[in-house]
């Protein structure tokens, strides 16, 4: 006879109300874990195969046109709109033609953000290596040009190392300590050529500019290299650059300052570059300040027509709605444009630099495990 106080455990069947059994959950977890391990192993094997392929001497890295359009490449806005871009440029002219005064103007205006000759300026830190001057001469020149209006973001040095002998480290350290650096002027290029650099050859000239260009590109700055012209005239004015064609061939462009007569107050400034329209400016020397004043431009700059998609992005993402992250499909819905999502991202990938330069909006696009994600942020 059973004791009425004896308790008997209830055998509860597994059902919808009681959830899945522990054993079932455990087996499911093992399966998921095995799948993750398998995926990891496959990814690691693919990574190893890709590394072995890249280390093969016969490997040539290529990208397809689709991959180009699918990528947002870093771009930097102009430093002086329509006049000076990030990159490595030669600034050439005959000795004592007024190059250093124009360099001082560029340096001052960039460091203060004050427009130059009507061109808008993006403010930033400037380093001017005035290697043919001393500090006393610099002081008198700057005071004559700008009076007591000084600039805290304009730095000078009258001594520096040579390429391969200290200059590389000095420039890298300056940029690391001044994150907002936009412009570095080296006056003159000959002063920083490594020992034996007076032996001109196309290869050596090309190598010098390539090394400096690599630094400017990694730092995202403009590097202006002051240089001299040779005496022999030429039908192509830029053929008058002293040295070989290797200098201009490796540089992103060049500025050429010329007077018809050494005693003249007027001069022309010819500009040619990979990323800008060729143009000629007419300048006149201010007899009081010795600065260069703008007279006229002989070439009217071509301007890109408005891009409706960029205008739509700027209209929807305002200061109040300054940051957004989502999918291309969601972006297409927000913008309300009659365009496929992949077409929108392609156009924005290509025009990311213009979107930032003209509207102050940064655009990024990345592929994730869940698909493509785009980020739009108004600075």
CATH of the domain at 104: 3.40.50.300
Residue 16 has pLDDT above 70, yes or no: no
Enter the tokens of residue 368.
């994730």
- Are 255 and 144 members of one domain? yes
The predicted model gives 45-71 an average pLDDT of: 85
CA 270, CA 257: separation in Å to the nearest integer? Answer: 7
- Are 50 and 113 members of one domain? no
Residue 35 has pLDDT above 70, yes or no: no
Residue carrying structure tokens 């300590």: 177
- Are 125 and 258 members of one domain? yes
Number of domains in the chain: 3
- Contact present, 376 and 363 (Cβ < 8 Å): yes
Residue 275 has pLDDT above 50, yes or no: yes
Instruction: Quickly state the pLDDT bin for 366 (edges 50, 70, 90).
Output: confident
- Are 244 and 268 members of one domain? yes
The domain of 372 spans 305-378
CB-based contacts of 54: which residues, under 8 Å, 6+ apart? 61
Of the two residues 372 and 142, the one the predictor is more confident about is 142
Predicted confidence at residue 179, as pLDDT, reads 95
* Closest among 210, 208, 192, 191 to 200, alpha carbons compared: 208
Neighbouring C-alpha atoms within 13 Å toward the C-beta of 199? 5
């Amino acid at each position: 006879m059973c004791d009425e106080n004896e308790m008997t455990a209830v055998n509860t069947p597994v059902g919808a109300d009681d959830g899945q059994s522990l054993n079932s959950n455990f087996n499911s977890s093992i399966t998921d874990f095995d799948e993750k391990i398998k995926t990891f192993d496959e990814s690691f094997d693919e990574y190893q195969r890709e590394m072995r392929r890249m280390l093969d001497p016969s490997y040539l890295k290529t990208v397809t046109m689709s991959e180009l359009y699918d990528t947002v490449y870093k771009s930097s806005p102009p430093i002086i709109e329509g006049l000076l871009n990030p990159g490595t440029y030669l600034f050439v002219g005959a000795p004592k033609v007024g190059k250093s005064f124009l360099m001082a103007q560029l340096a001052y205006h960039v460091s203060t953000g004050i427009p130059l000759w009507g061109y808008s300026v993006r403010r930033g830190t400037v380093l001017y290596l005035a290697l043919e001057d001393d500090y006393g001469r610099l002081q008198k020149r700057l005071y004559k040009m700008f009076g007591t209006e000084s600039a805290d973001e304009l730095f000078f040095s009258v001594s520096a190392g040579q390429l391969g002998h200290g200059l590389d480290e000095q420039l890298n350290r300056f940029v690391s300590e001044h994150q907002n650096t936009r412009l570095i002027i080296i006056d003159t290029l000959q002063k920083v050529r490594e020992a034996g650099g007076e032996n001109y050859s196309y290869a050596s000239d090309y190598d010098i500019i390539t090394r400096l260009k690599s630094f400017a590109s990694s730092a995202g700055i403009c590097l202006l290299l002051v240089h001299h012209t040779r005496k022999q005239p030429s039908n192509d004015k830029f053929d008058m650059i002293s040295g070989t064609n290797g200098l201009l061939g490796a540089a992103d462009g060049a500025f050429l300052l010329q007077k018809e007569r050494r005693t003249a107050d007027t001069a022309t400034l010819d500009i040619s570059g990979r990323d800008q329209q060729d143009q000629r400016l007419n300048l006149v020397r201010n007899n009081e300040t010795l600065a260069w004043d703008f007279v006229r431009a002989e070439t009217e700059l071509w301007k890109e027509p408005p891009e409706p998609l960029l205008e739509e992005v700027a209209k929807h993402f305002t200061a109040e709605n300054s940051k957004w992250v989502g999918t291309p499909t969601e972006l297409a819905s927000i913008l309300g444009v009659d365009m496929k999502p992949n077409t929108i991202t392609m156009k924005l990938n290509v025009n990311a630099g213009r979107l930032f330069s003209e509207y102050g909006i940064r655009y990024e696009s990345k592929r994730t495990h869940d698909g493509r994600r785009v980020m739009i942020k108004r600075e």
